[in-house]
Amino acid sequence: MMRIGIIGMGYVGLSTAVVLADQGNEMVCVDVDMKKLEMLKRGKPPIYEKGMEEMLNRNLNRMTMTADYKDLADADILFICVPTPTKDGRCDTSYVKAAAKAINDANLKGIPVIKSTMPPTAIEDVSKVLGKMPVMNPEFLKEGTALEDTIRPDRVVIGADNIKDFEKLKEIWSFTNAPIIMASPAEASIIKYASNSFLATKVSFINEIADLCERIPNCDVGVIAKGMGMDRRIGDKFLNAGPGYGGSCFPKDTEELRNLARNIGRPMNIVDAAVSTNCRRPVEMVNKLKELMGSIRGKRIGVLGIAFKANTDDTRESVSIKIMEELVKEGAIVVAYDPKAKATIEGINQVNMKEECIRDSEGIIIATEWEEFRGLENALEGKYVLDTRRILNPELMDPRYFSTIGRGKETSKKAKTTY
Ligand code: NAD
Ligand code: UGA
């Protein structure tokens, strides 16, 4: 068992900390946000993530929460999990550099390991601040299944420039039984950007197929995705057509990969196209509603779902918010509901119950695929409904009042048997 430091207790840092504590390691968790630290000390996760509260409380006795980097003095490993947001169109590595400087100032001896997503060009800069080359150990967890993904990742990527650091990291993650990819720090960084950009491209691809299906009678993108996904070379994941991808990572990581490629002089045309397809979607969703309702000006529209996807309270780059901003621009009165997420959006009234969101609204947009929005077909009778997540049964909806994604007009019946 080791003494392990975590720097930055957000989605990645907290998930890494509780899982490694659960394996019996002694964790020292550093953050600059005192409010967050206070909550964590009381066993209250500052984010909504399935199973987090229970695992945190089970391991609190092995977790020190602190704002003082000096408490990391005896840690063998220092996982850096701070944000790398986009600033002026570029990956902002200032939080990583600030953490690196604090490590250096506190004269810490542990191996610095970067979990934050950061381009290869930044590794050299950070190593200068640290006075040594960090290990790149990119994180692949998804919000909503963060703990599961940390315990059972598909692979672990370790980008180290020496075998000693590599072996130490391999030892930490050996409990996952996942295949280990031995890489250079630069390769580890590109594996992360390429993976997120590939998945984002897959989503934009199926969204374009959905647009096509809407214009071809008797075509449903769900059947197309099923037919494609059964080919194991394609795979059935990330083929759910929807309002476009959002979240704290796909938008920023596709942007940074494009930056990197442009600066090197080899633009990534495929990722460029995936991004531009995605950027159009929020307005296209609002246009769909306008087509259905005639006009939305002055009308009350209820939006179900604020989070960027189900099972998280994260609203960063949420398409739902982009749709709401567009609705407000078009003069609609917008009311929103989400079971977990809260967001301050100008001009939006947020309510605490979905019934309240639905009751007086003329139009409804399902923007996030929360389980509790399934089966609402009856409750939505008499309303105009746009289901951007394809969770309602179209056969139970009146086509005059209903619109969805990726479904062409039905002019003939097909055999109903499912094989
Ligand atoms: P987050 O914003 O949820 O959390 C970051 C935490 O770091 C915050 O609690 C913040 O207070 C703290 N922090 C900031 N500066 C600090 C400093 N100098 N010292 C100590 N703490 C500091 O971020 P996140 O979503 O966990 O993402 C972290 C990194 O991991 C990003 O690079 C992101 O791209 C990457 N990533 C995120 C996910 C995800 O699902 N969220 C998945 C894989 C990779
Ligand atoms: C994504 C990746 O899946 C993780 O592997 C990665 O670690 C993480 O980004 C990161 O780097 O932060 P996450 O952003 O939590 O994880 O969510 P995803 O499940 O990937 O969904 C991203 C977006 O794509 C969401 O808006 C979601 O609604 C959308 N999506 C996803 C679709 O529209 N259709 C799909 O079939 C899948």
196 CB near ligand 2 (under 6 Å): yes
The phi and psi torsions of 91 (rounded to 5 degrees) equal -70, 120
Name the token pair of 245: 């991808």
- Can you name the residues that pair with 113 across neighbouring β-strands? 79, 135
CA angle (197, 198, 199) in 5-degree steps: 90
247 CB near ligand 2 (under 6 Å): yes
- Residue ID of nearest Cα to ligand 2 atom 31: 238
Answer yes or no: are the C-beta atoms of 134 and 113 closer than 8 Å: yes
pLDDT at residue 178 in the model: 98
How far does the centroid of ligand 2 lie from the alpha carbon of residue 271, in Å? 16
User: Is 249 annotated in the active site?
Assistant: yes
Separation between Cα atoms, residue 245 and residue 243, nearest integer Å: 7
**CA nearest 37: which of 25, 26, 45?**
45
pLDDT at residue 358 in the model: 98
Q: Which residue carries 């989070």 as its tokens?
A: 307
Angle between helices 250-264 and 185-214 (to 10 degrees): 110
Answer yes or no: are the C-beta atoms of 52 and 14 closer than 8 Å: yes
114 CB near ligand 1 (under 6 Å): no
How far does the centroid of ligand 2 lie from the alpha carbon of residue 37, in Å? 27
How far does the centroid of ligand 2 lie from the alpha carbon of residue 317, in Å? 12
Ordered alpha helix ranges (H), 297-419:
319-329, 354-359
Separation between Cα atoms, residue 140 and residue 143, nearest integer Å: 10
Maximum Cα–Cα distance for the chain, whole Å? 73
Name the token pair of 8: 């930055």
- Can you name the residues that pair with 348 across neighbouring β-strands? 334
How far does the centroid of ligand 2 lie from the alpha carbon of residue 142, in Å? 6
How far does the centroid of ligand 1 lie from the alpha carbon of residue 14, in Å? 9
Residue type, 118: M
Query: Of the bound ligands, which one is closest to the alpha carbon of residue 206?
Result: 2
* pTM exceeds cut of 0.85: yes
DSSP states along 8-23 = --SHHHHHHHHHHHHT
99 CB near ligand 1 (under 6 Å): yes
pLDDT at residue 299 in the model: 98
Identify which of 91, 148, 196 to mutate to test ligand 2's pocket (most ligand atoms within 8 A of the CB). Answer: 196
**CA nearest 305: which of 388, 401, 398?**
388
306 CB near ligand 1 (under 6 Å): no
- Tell me 133's DSSP state: P
Separation between Cα atoms, residue 216 and residue 214, nearest integer Å: 6
Answer yes or no: are the C-beta atoms of 96 and 23 closer than 8 Å: no
pLDDT at residue 95 in the model: 98
Query: Of the bound ligands, which one is closest to the alpha carbon of residue 39?
Result: 1
Name the token pair of 261: 């490629």
pLDDT, tens digit only, all 419 positions of the chain: 899 999 999 999 999 999 999 999 999 999 999 999 999 999 999 999 999 999 999 999 999 999 999 999 999 999 999 999 999 889 999 999 999 999 999 999 999 999 999 999 999 999 999 999 999 999 999 999 999 999 999 999 999 999 999 999 999 999 999 999 999 999 999 999 999 999 999 999 999 999 999 999 999 999 999 999 999 999 999 999 999 999 999 999 999 999 999 999 999 999 999 999 999 999 999 999 999 999 999 999 999 999 999 999 999 999 999 999 999 999 999 999 999 999 888 899 999 999 999 999 999 999 999 999 999 999 999 999 999 999 999 999 999 999 999 999 888 877 655 54
pLDDT at residue 414 in the model: 74
